Amino acid sequence: MSQTSTYTVVGMTCGHCVASVSEEVGAIAGVENVDVDLDSGRVTVTSDSVLDEAQIKAAVEEAGYALAPSA
């Protein structure tokens, strides 16, 4: 069963930013879909299992951005 998690990424300003984050997060094993909303900074990740937030954080940082602290 698919799992969906939402994160907030700070620092994205353009379509290239969205593509970079999508590519890095999408490369994580088990990720089925990544939906990035530039206006809100919201990244919704659908995966085949629960993901470790550290994996998401590392992928976002690899793309050159930061994950907002969880509320």
pLDDT in tens, 51-71: 999 999 999 999 999 999 865
The residues near 20 (Cβ < 8 Å, ≥ 6 apart) are: 63, 64, 65
pLDDT at 69 (0 to 100): 82
Shortest CA distance to 25 belongs to which of 11, 71, 64, 13?
64
Specify the pTM.
Answer: 0.92
Residue 27 and residue 19 in contact, taking contact as beta carbons nearer than 8 Å: no
The C-alpha atoms of residue 26 and residue 2 are separated, in whole angstroms, by: 15
Shortest CA distance to 41 belongs to which of 67, 1, 9?
9
pLDDT in tens, 10-55: 999 999 999 999 999 999 999 999 999 999 999 999 999 989 999 9
